[in-house]
Structure 1
Amino acid sequence: MGLIRITKQFSFETGHALYGYDGKCKNVHGHSYKLAVTVIGEPITDVDNVKLGMVIDFGDLKKIVKQEIVDVFDHATVFNKNTPHVELAKELKDRGHTVILVDYQPTSENMIQDFAAKIQKRLPEHIKLFSLRLQETETSYAEWYASDNA
Structure 2
Amino acid sequence: MSNIRITKQFSFETGHALYGYDGKCRNVHGHSYKLSVTVIGTPIADVNHVKFGMVIDFGDLKKIVKEEIVDVFDHATVFNKNTPHVELAEELSSRGHNVLLVDYQPTSEMMVVDFAEKIKLRLPQNIMLHSLRLQETATSYAEWYASDNS
Shorter chain as denominator, the TM-score bin is over 0.9
1:76-95 correspondence to structure 2 within 5 Å: 76-95=76-95
* Paired position in structure 2 for 1:61: 61
The alpha carbon displacement at 1:8 in A equals: 0.1
SS, match of residue 97 in structure 2: coil
1:4-19 correspondence to structure 2 within 5 Å: 4-19=4-19
1:1-150 correspondence to structure 2 within 5 Å: 1-150=1-150
SS, match of residue 38 in structure 1: strand
The alpha carbon displacement at 1:12 in A equals: 0.1
The count of corresponding residues between Structure 1 and Structure 2 is: 150
Give structure 2 stretches of 5+ with no counterpart.
Answer: none
TM-score normalised by L of structure 2: 1.00
Q: Which runs of 4+ in 1 moved over 3 A?
A: none
SS, match of residue 134 in structure 1: strand
The alpha carbon displacement at 1:77 in A equals: 0.2
What CA deviation, in whole Å up to 9, does each residue of 1:54-113 have, x standing for no partner?
Answer: 000000000000000000000000000000000000000000000000010000000000
SS, match of residue 91 in structure 1: helix
TM-score normalised by L of structure 1: 1.00
Separation in 1 of the partners of 2:87 and 2:7?
Answer: 39
Separation in 2 of the partners of 1:147 and 1:78?
Answer: 28
The alpha carbon displacement at 1:23 in A equals: 0.4
SS, match of residue 147 in structure 1: helix
Q: Over the residues paired in the alignment, what is the CA RMSD in angstroms?
A: 0.3
